Amino acid sequence: MATAAAQRTARPQADGAAAREPADYQRVFDAAVAADERIEPRDWMPDAYRATLVRQIAQHAHSEIIGMQPEANWITRAPSLRRKAILMAKVQDEAGHGLYLYSAAETLGTGRDELLDKLHSGRQKYSSIFNYPTLTWADVGAIGWLVDGAAITNQVPLCRCSYGPYARAMVRICKEESFHQRQGYELLLALSKGTPEQHAMAQDAVDRWWWPSLMMFGPPDDESQHSAQSMAWKIKRHSNDELRQRFVDICVPQAESLGLTLPDPDLTWNEERGHYDFGPIDWSEFWDVLKGNGPCNEQRLTQRKRAHDEGAWVREAAAAYAAKHTGGAEAAAHETTGAERA
């Protein structure tokens, strides 16, 4: 076992770009991306690459944290203890995933406080899907099946993203999220096969969440602002429309097994394309929600800010305590390390 002192000097992310001449940096970076190697935090990277990653990872982290709210809305009303435990574990995972992602963003030199500040002041976005309300219990199922399903479709390719810390966070998140989608599907199945009232509740939820879920893949490829460069950098691996199509193709048979209808009369199998055709998406709604006019934009951000502000005294107290007791804490740390070694 390595000693504490040795570990203190080991810097795991010093991947030795220092030996190279500045002129070579871009070439080395490009070659690494081209060879499907991962870029690590201490590597040289173009400023725009760094900025794109910070923006994307932060938005992703914010989405996890804000995304807790619509589902937490039902924890205290979950209709069975089994469902209650599942929902609490799921909302907890979302907090955890937010933390993994903020950590990944921090490796790029932007602190979590700064990112939270940008979220709270509206300078950074989160996924618009969370600006829709959860009106019934079935919405918990629809979020799991459709919203998490869309998220997973988006996220699986991110496990191979060129930036190492982001890719590793995504591996962990995808692994944990596989239960999220299944619990949603199972929940809807129970409702669909339940009483007529429960079935109607499930259908209503799917009717409301289907189109917003399709919007989660972002604007069509020809209107997507950031897509081309992100693909070149291998931050993104597939286009918005490609992923959206993949999601639709997956969902149609799943909806049939559920005994629920997807609210799109144009949804038909296209033999020639080998895909399902689907109706036009109302992008005006997407842009409107993005601009802040969704049903819950104000409510979500207000709650987030309130929790942060009301927690300030707790965080301050803990910092003050740590400042008073630093010596003691460090001594304790060395002691427990020693105990394990023995």
Partner 1 sequence: MTATGPATASVTAALALGDDALVLSHRLGEWAGHAPALEEEVALANIALDLLGQARVLLSLAGDEDELAYLREERAFRNLQLVEQPNGDFAHTIARQLYFSTYQHLLHAELAAGGGPFAPLAAKAVKEVAYHRDHAEQWTLRLGDGTETSHERMRRAYAALWRYTGEMFQPVEGLDVDWPALESRWLESVTEVLGRATLSVPEGPRTGAWSAGAGRQGIHTEPFGRMLAEMQHLHRSHPGASW
Partner 2 sequence: MSTTDWPLWEVFVRSRRGLSHTHAGSLHAPDAELALRNARDLYTRRGEGVSIWVVPAAAITASSPDEKDPFFEPAADKPYRHPTFYEIPEGVKHL
**DSSP-based three-state secondary structure for 41:** coil
Nearest CB to partner 1, comparing residues 78 and 281? 78
**DSSP-based three-state secondary structure for 116:** helix
89 belongs to the binding site for partner 1 (CB under 8 A): yes
Element (H, E) at 270: strand 268-270
Taking the complex as a whole, the smallest distance from the CB of residue 81 to partner 1 amounts, in Å, to: 5
Nearest CB to partner 1, comparing residues 181 and 198? 198
Among 69, 213, 227, 245, binds partner 1 (CB under 8 A): 69
Among 34, 318, 332, 333, binds partner 1 (CB under 8 A): 318
310 belongs to the binding site for partner 1 (CB under 8 A): yes
Q: Which does 169 bind (CB under 5 to 8 A by kind): partner 2, partner 1, none?
A: partner 2
Cβ within 8 Å of residue 47, ≥6 positions away: none
135 belongs to the binding site for partner 1 (CB under 8 A): no
> C-alpha angle with apex 113: 88 to 12, nearest 5 degrees?
90
Asked if residues 168 and 118 have their Cβ atoms less than 8 Å apart, the reply is: no
Find the binding residues for partner 1 in span 202-221 (CB under 8 A): none
Distance CA(77)–CA(224), nearest Å, equals 39
Q: Which does 310 bind (CB under 5 to 8 A by kind): partner 2, partner 1, none?
A: partner 1
Q: Which does 333 bind (CB under 5 to 8 A by kind): partner 2, partner 1, none?
A: partner 2
Taking the complex as a whole, the smallest distance from the CB of residue 180 to partner 1 amounts, in Å, to: 15
Taking the complex as a whole, the smallest distance from the CB of residue 333 to partner 1 amounts, in Å, to: 15
299 belongs to the binding site for partner 1 (CB under 8 A): no
Element (H, E) at 175: helix 164-192
Distance CA(152)–CA(133), nearest Å, equals 21
> C-alpha angle with apex 40: 36 to 45, nearest 5 degrees?
85
Chain residues in the site for partner 2 (CB under 8 A) = 4, 7-8, 12, 82, 85-86, 89, 92-93, 96, 99-100, 103, 106, 111-113, 168-169, 172, 176, 178-179, 181-183, 185-186, 189, 250, 253-254, 257, 312, 315-316, 318-319, 321-322, 325-326, 329-330, 332-334, 336-337, 339-340
Place of tokens 């900025």: 51
Task: Label residue 6 exposed, middle or buried (CB < 10 Å: 0-12, 13-18, 19+).
Answer: exposed
> C-alpha angle with apex 139: 183 to 306, nearest 5 degrees?
105
Taking the complex as a whole, the smallest distance from the CB of residue 185 to partner 1 amounts, in Å, to: 14
Element (H, E) at 319: helix 312-324
Question: What are φ and ψ of residue 78, in 5° steps?
Answer: -50, 135
Nearest CB to partner 2, comparing residues 28 and 78? 78
Binding site for partner 1 (CB under 8 A): 65, 68-69, 72, 75-85, 88-89, 91-92, 95-96, 98-99, 102, 137, 187, 190-191, 194-195, 197-198, 303, 306-307, 310-318, 320-322, 324-325
